[in-house]
Structure 1
């Protein structure tokens, strides 16, 4: 077996790579952005490598990857399965695996307490690959912080060369991050990217799509051919701002993105249907009565009457995003709007309800990804001329 140095050139979808005591840690926000926010939630989710994959060209029939994962345990909630590593060979799913061991991050949502327990490095092994020259991608778990410790193969490898595909840069909430998706290649952005034939950079940040200026600057400074931003649900979840602040914050966010991408197709997507927050403001909170039954659910704890004083609901946010995009599009012909309920709406909720009242399940991720691809990447869609 050949030991393969873990050069950043082998990684796709990461914006920064940190050298650690164990190996390398992919990040989805650059160091400058991370330094501007001390929020532990943001630090956790940006280091979870949703959309990040090793991309190798090789004749190898066996590939082994040693990793040190950080796995979450929520006190009182059902156990979470280990993260999934998906193997793609020439763009087709050829296997999946999991890595045992790793660090354990125990989170008590009733007290806010967090405990990190160190654990051992584990290995995922893929064997029986064809011995011809091929492109091999190992998609890292979308929901586990993953330090890459060592890479081995039974033949030399090189980075996959540029395939001439358009780069799609997407930012959103935990739904875009992939919460409750079955695997890293079946989050809705990964599914949509595969259908659209584009290279994905996924800046879906669970709980952290909050119109932060450092996120806008990251989008501004990241080379991309197509950009989408899915905004709104986390602002309600966190009860972060009122309508007076929300509109100007969206304008400022889009202004910053446009500084680096003045003519790039830019799609603003409003929240999918989420009944608990359609007309009830945030914040969201865990439903501890459900946790006592071994289920994790969320509830809205705001007062609908407070919308009159500027509190935000999803319906208020959709109307504001629609208005902002329509007004800006008069001078920005490459700016577009998509109502998130076109991706997942009332009929979908009746068929595929949100298991925790906040996040779609694996089947709903597939539906959202297919619908996004059909609306965005086909002829006449906002990205129809940009995907190659």
Structure 2
């Protein structure tokens, strides 16, 4: 469809999107989802509805000779009363895999989340136009990576040359599920989340089901992963189970088995990696739940603290150390009959020794530099020679 003279407006359809599982058509553009509708209908109150609609790892991909690209979006900004606002989400434009431009949507809908009151209210805001210029006039593959932490309705894609669907890359598809750390919390940009860093190093196509606060062994997430095509699968389990204080040790093992059983229904021989938690001093020996650090709130920044009692471990409460031990045991047990099942200790990605040099700024999530470090370590251990996802691993 043609817009102003010499420009082409291209509808944003599923064919142009990578990393999204579903696409919802709304009155204000199309909204990428990272869980299918069937799963979204089963999300409970307080579940991952907000997180799954934040397009971590989702990108618009096309081939064009355009020298200028414009994208109209309606972004959703999150506000926590009394806490300094988060910076606007970053959109990155890559040309033939290399960063060629960044942009931010300075306004949009505003979602006010009052963690103390347990309320969330959305105020509609205006559309923003992102503009990427100065591109070469040669034929090229273009990707626009959407923010990992801002729900984004895609209204219109405009270019000063026609757009074609990008051809398949031929790369293996890596389907990953984890917590807010996997989604990208505190990363500098969408290609700077640790899974994106690892995917680039491993030359794979990422489908990121990192769901902030909601890596909770939910059956609807397992079924969504079971039904999603993938060549490689990983699940990072632990921190959310502790900081939500969701279950006790008695329920944890069977829940892990059930989640893995469901994955194996759809992917019986796909390389499957179970990753245990990164080091987090808050919850190494102290169970959850996590709570807002009042001292941090008084300083106008978000920080967390552990609200559980170590004495409660005897009654079955979970800590990160207990979860690591149980995951290692479960994988050893299952691997006797499942040669494609693997385990990675999260401490190999970020351990106690790393905390001194690269402390978590809110005591729960790594910073941008640590995301890159974790991604690089994961790539070496998992995609490198002899790793479970090495190119010759199947």
TM-score over 0.5 (shorter chain): yes
In structure 1, what is the Cα distance between the partners aligned to 2:171 and 2:301?
42
Deviation at 1:169, TM superposition (A): 0.3
The residue aligned with 1:138 is 144
Equivalent of 1:43 in 49, 52, 55: 49
Q: How far apart are residue 206 of structure 1 and its match? A: 0.1
Structure-1 residue corresponding to 2:355: 349
Q: Indicate the SS of the match to 2:274.
A: strand
- Give the TM-score normalised by structure 1: 0.99
1:184 shift after superposition: 0.3
Aligned to 1:69: 75
Q: 2:180 aligns with which of 169, 174, 179?
A: 174
Aligned to 1:294: 300
What's the counterpart of residue 4 of structure 2?
Answer: none
Task: Give matches, 1:17-36, under 5 Å.
Answer: 17-36=23-42
1:55-204 mapped onto 2 (5 Å cutoff): 55-204=61-210
Q: Which runs of 4+ in 1 moved over 4 A?
A: none
Report the CA distance between 1:38 and its aligned residue: 3.0
Aligned to 1:306: 312
- SS, match of residue 106 in structure 1: strand
* Contact 2:63–2:142 (CA under 8 A) maintained in structure 1: yes
Aligned match of 1:10: 16
Quick one: distance in 2 between partners of 1:39 and 1:27? 18
Unpaired stretches in structure 1, ≥5 consecutive residues? none
CA-to-aligned-CA distance 1:88-142 (integer Å, 9 cap, x gap):
1000111111012100011111111222111000011001111111000000011
Distance in structure 2 (CA, Å) of the matches to 1:48 and 1:175: 14
Aligned-residue Cα RMSD (Å) equals 1.0
**Where does 1:199-278 land on structure 2 (aligned, <5 Å)?**
199-278=205-284
SS at match of 1:194: helix
Describe the superposition over 1:5-30 as per-residue Cα deviations: whole angstroms up to 9, x where unpaired. Answer: 11110000000000000110000000
Cα distance in 2, alignment partners of residues 78 and 23 from structure 1: 29
After TM superposition, give the deviation of residue 159 of structure 1 in Å: 1.5
Aligned CA distance change for structure 1 residues 168 and 285 (closer, same or farther; 3 Å): same
Contact 1:166 1:386 in 2 (8 A): no
CA contact under 8 A between 1:225 and 1:386: conserved in structure 2? no
The separation in 2 between residues aligned to 1:50 and 1:163, in whole angstroms, is: 20
Per the alignment, in what secondary structure is the counterpart of residue 316 of structure 1? helix
Conserved? CA contact 1:198–1:387, under 8 Å: no
TM-score normalised per structure 2: 0.97
CA distance in 2, matches of 1:23, 1:76: 31
In the alignment, which of 313, 318, 322 is matched to residue 328 of structure 2? 322
